[in-house]
Amino acid sequence: MSPDPLTRLRTAPELSAILLDVDGTLAPIVAHPDDSAVPAETLAVVERLVERFALVGCVSGRRAVEAARLVPVAGVHVAGNHGLELLVDGRVVLAGGVEEWLGDLRTAATAIAPIVAEAGGWVEDKGASLTVHFRGAADPVAARGLLELRAVPLLAAAGLVSRWGRMSLEARPPLPVDKGSAIEELLLDRPQVRRSLYAGDDRTDLDGFAVVDVKVAVHSNETPPELLAAADIVVEGTAGLTDLLASLLD
């Protein structure tokens, strides 16, 4: 029988880091991201993790300030926009090279707006990136097809990199920044960390998996198969993840 990958985290929390995605991992997925919330019970567990572990961080696709609003726990480190933003002492710090793409992002947002509207979606302008949401479209499959055909080429022409998420399309500057580099950045401040865990539910969380010891996938009917395949542990939904985090306090 293989040893429990959580044992070393549990027995040496002062040498361990817990990194967490937010939407679909701490907060259940809802139709509109504005309606997301992390259950009080989960926040209470995160609070206790902060007291015990060397580092507790949230690494989200949301803007850093938005992620921090959803996880209002003192001592939690926050990286937003898939690593393009870091919250440092309540201030947003952009990753290197992002600043010069801000104008192109605004121009691209305007260019794709009519196509996105036709697809029944909407554009979330996240400053350092754009997210097209089409979960609310009457026919999400047709919406994705239309975006693939007409919006993705416009984003590519603007020099931006597109990536599909769960009922969403992300566009971002072509920089070597992702959830994995954000985790590495957070860990730089904690050289004592010997073991790390990351939990996520989507394709971009694979970048986080690449740089940690224990990979936890949060399963739902939308979880990408490649994330499940790459995980050491699969938990059932956000409630399952809360149970796992609580078990780290035993």
Residues making contact with Mg ion (CB under 5 A): 21, 23-24, 201-202
Name which of 183, 201, 182, 203 is nearest 193 in CA terms.
Answer: 183
Triad 210, 90, 194: Cα angle to 5°: 35
Helix ranges restricted to H, 12-160: 40-52, 64-70, 102-118, 140-146, 152-157
Q: Which residue has the tokens 């990979």?
A: 215
Residue 25 or 162: which CB sits closer to Mg ion? Answer: 25
Question: CB of 199: closest distance to Mg ion in angstroms?
Answer: 9
Strand (E) or helix (H) holding 218? strand 214-219
Which residue(s) pair with 19 in the sheet? 57, 198
Question: CB of 248: closest distance to Mg ion in angstroms?
Answer: 20
Question: CB of 45: closest distance to Mg ion in angstroms?
Answer: 18
Residue 185 or 201: which CB sits closer to Mg ion? Answer: 201
Sheet of 91-94, strands arranged across:
91-94, 85-88, 77-80, 55-59, 16-20, 195-200, 214-219, 233-236
Residue 85 or 201: which CB sits closer to Mg ion? Answer: 201
Residue 146 or 227: which CB sits closer to Mg ion? Answer: 227
- Pair of tokens at residue 139: 């026919």
Q: Name the packing angle between helices 40-52 and 237-247 (round to 10°).
A: 30
Residue 24 or 224: which CB sits closer to Mg ion? Answer: 24
